[in-house]
Amino acid sequence: MKIYNTLSKKVEEFIPYSEKEVTMYTCGPTVYYYAHIGNLRTYISEDVLEKGLRYLGYNVKRCMNITDVGHLSGDSDTGEDKMAKAAQKEHKSVLDIAKFYTEAFFKDLERLNIKKPDIISPATLNIDSYIKMINKLLEEGYAYKSGGNVYFDTAKFPNYYELSGRSKDDLLLAVRDDVEEDNNKKNPFDFGLWFTNSKFQNQELKWDSPFGYGYPGWHIECSAIAIKNLGEHLDIHCGGVDNIFPHHTNEIAQSESYLNHKWCNYWVHMEFLNDKEGKMSKSKGDSKDLNSLIEKGYNPIVYRYFCLQSHYRKVLVYSLESLDSATNAYNKLKNKIKNIKNNLSGEVDYEKSKLFQDKFKDAFSNDMNTSMMLTTLYDVIKSDLNNSTKLYLIEDFDKVLSLSLLEEEKISAELESYINEKIKERAMAKENKDYAKADEIRDELLSKNIILKDTKEGTTFEIRK
Ligand code: AMP
Ligand code: ZN
């Protein structure tokens, strides 16, 4: 298995720390709103990474945090607290907001066939672990108290620039936009480990600690949760590219200072999903969540298919047109598979299967080349293998791709209400003699594999076989 490591800036052979188990940590969502489809692209890639490793025969133990405290709108301790702001806006408590959007996130995972990580840990349930880490960092001189807060002293960690591969001046420019300078910091990169006295006097969630009544910074939560659940040596740490600096840079600084040795060997970062206007962001307020796609009649698994068509290290540009083409391709694929399933022949040829399984493994092992993995699936379908062998391989590959390749198309309640809405719209268009509009609606549904049938009793629909 070869994977690109942000730390070395190279595609490297993957060698886990222990033969027994691969440990994998992925930064979870900040649950102040629905995850947008950009966030979900990252979680899809991480899911394929975990499942692919399992497919290769590794035992994987994976952990993810849920950020329900401490994440400010600027990643460098600036701006407002994302959770507190959402609670204020929705007139709810922070924990209610967290509960609601955590459940919404789990629902998204389920709809995208993303396996839940083995361990999921909310930040608010790990205060003891942060205190333990911060205490040691203070004792050993890696952290300092200033203005009532505790900060990590980045000058004490010479490798601070390694992960981002950027110079000090370059990073100074990057944080320059975070104009609200914190005069308590010795250096602009220093970051808060614990806040008691800050601009957030109305911070709802606070805890007792040896450093005063307060709350943790964002970065400490991932280090502490990862070390607590996965041990002192981590194989893989994932996240989106925006996490490289400052979040993961800070995680490395505090974890390695705390542990006194190298912490994580492979840093795997997922590129962004952009829309035509540029970066997608939850805080921009115009984000696209999975519900908005479902409301437009798209199958969430088609979104997964769309993501797998491109490499995780390339920016992916999203548009409804590109999702339409993915819908088309996915439906054709499902129809071909249905045909195979309905015309089974011969015994499974395990020897020949192995050739295709090796190709599939090679594609995954080549820095998780998901489009090559899909090509291998198409190669199986096109091949002269008998249908039983094809079906065996399709089922096998779907353990990693998770595209519901063998599932009969079920219709969700959301899609059904969308179609009924469209049928009403079409009837109205016909009544107004706007036949072009009526045809447009029929064609749009047809592109989603939904066939309208006009009967004496009214219009009904069925899914194209
Ligand atoms: P957040 O909830 O903001 O902490 O982000 C959750 C995950 O999504 C992190 O791993 C981010 O790096 C990642 N992420 C944020 N924006 C995007 C985007 N537009 N495309 C892909 N991943 C993203
Ligand atoms: Zn994190």
- What's the domain count of the chain? 3
Cβ neighbours of residue 227 under 8 Å, at least 6 residues apart? Answer: 129, 133, 234, 255, 258, 259, 263
Q: Which of 242, 271, 276, 303 to mutate to test the pocket of ligand 1 (most atoms within 8 A of CB)?
A: 242
Q: State whether 265 and 385 are in the same domain.
A: no
Cα separation values, 386 from 343, 357, 383, 400, Å: 10, 16, 9, 22
Quick one: how many helices (H) and strands (E) in the chain? 15, 18
Q: Which of 27, 42, 75 to mutate to test the pocket of ligand 1 (most atoms within 8 A of CB)?
A: 42
For residue 41 and ligand 1, the question of a CB distance below 6 A is answered with yes
Determine the pLDDT at residue 74: 63
Same domain, 196 and 108: yes
Question: To which H or E segment does residue 352 belong?
Answer: helix 350-365
Determine if ligand 1 sits within 6 Å of the CB of residue 239. Answer: yes
Q: Classify residue 199 as exposed, middle or buried by CB count within 10 Å of its CB (0-12, 13-18, 19+).
A: middle
Q: How far is the CA of 81 from the centre of ligand 2 (A)?
A: 16
pLDDT tens-place string over residues 85-143: 888 888 888 899 999 999 999 999 999 999 999 999 999 999 999 999 999 999 999 99
What's the pLDDT at 82? 80
Distance of alpha carbon 332 from alpha carbon 44, whole angstroms: 22
Please give the single-letter amino acid code of residue 299. Answer: N
What six digits make up the tokens of 200? 């957030």
- Model pLDDT for residues 305-328, shown as the tens digit of each residue: 999 999 999 999 999 999 999 999
Distance CA 106, CA 210 (A): 35
Q: Which ligand 1 atom sits nearest the alpha carbon of residue 41?
A: 21
Same domain, 417 and 455: yes
My answer on whether 366 and 282 are in the same domain is yes
Q: How far is CA 374 from the centre of its chain?
A: 20
Question: With contact defined as beta carbons under 8 Å apart, do 136 and 78 qualify?
Answer: no
pLDDT of residue 282: 59
Asked whether 30 lines ligand 1 (CB < 6 A), one says yes
Q: Are 463 and 411 in contact (CB under 8 A)?
A: yes
Bridge partners of 450?
463
Domain end call among 353, 369, 401: 401
Alpha-carbon distance 104 to 118, whole Å?
Answer: 18
Q: Give yes or no for residue 123 CB within 6 A of ligand 1.
A: no
27 CA to centre of ligand 2 in angstroms:
4
Within a domain: 217: yes
Torsion sign across C-alpha atoms 291, 293, 298, 301: negative
CA 241 to ligand 1: nearest atom: 12
Residues 27 and 169 in one domain: yes
Distance CA 122, CA 5 (A): 27
Given phi > 0 = left and psi -120 to 50 = alpha, else beta, which region is 141?
left
- The full DSSP string for 50-93 is HHHHHHTT--EEEEEEEB-S--EEETTTEEEEHHHHHHHHHTS-
Q: Which of 348, 132, 173 shows the shortest CA–CA distance to 255? A: 132
Q: What is the CA radius of gyration of the chain?
A: 25
Same domain, 144 and 244: yes
408 within some domain: no
SS3 335: helix
CB distance 318 to ligand 1 below 6 Å: no
Question: Is the same domain home to 283 and 220?
Answer: no
- Closest by CA to 22, choosing from 223, 234, 225, 261, is 234
For ligand 1, atom 14: residue with the closest CA = 39
Ligand 1 near 275 CB (within 6 A): no
Last residue of a domain, one of 370, 401, 432: 401
Distance 172 CA to ligand 1 centre (A): 23
Please tell me the number of the ligand nearest to residue 27's CA.
Answer: 2
Ligand 2: centre distance to CA 29 (Å): 9
Tell me if 326 sits within 8 A of 319, measured CB to CB.
no
Q: Atom 12 (ligand 1): residue with closest C-alpha? A: 240
Ligand with minimal distance to 42 CA: 1
Asked if 77 and 151 sit in the same domain, the reply is: yes
- Rounded Cα distance between 373 and 371, Å, is 5
> Which of 36, 39, 248, 316 to probe ligand 1 with, by most ligand atoms within 8 A of CB?
39
**Token pair for residue 114?**
């993303």
Q: Where in the sequence is the domain holding 350, given as residue range(s)?
A: 278-401
Same domain, 265 and 331: no
Q: Which of 218, 236, 270 is the last residue of a domain?
A: 270
Distance 464 CA to ligand 2 centre (A): 43
Q: Is 38 in the pocket of ligand 1 (CB under 6 A)?
A: yes
Mean pLDDT per 10-residue interval, the chain, length 465 residues: 98 96 97 94 98 98 92 66 82 90 97 97 97 98 95 95 91 69 86 81 84 93 98 98 95 98 98 85 68 91 98 96 94 94 94 98 98 98 97 98 89 82 93 94 86 85 75
Q: How far, in whole angstroms, is CA 399 from its chain's centroid? A: 18
- Residue 308 in contact with residue 76, Cβ under 8 Å? no
Question: 402 phi and psi, to 5 degrees?
Answer: 50, 50
DSSP conformational letter for 184: T
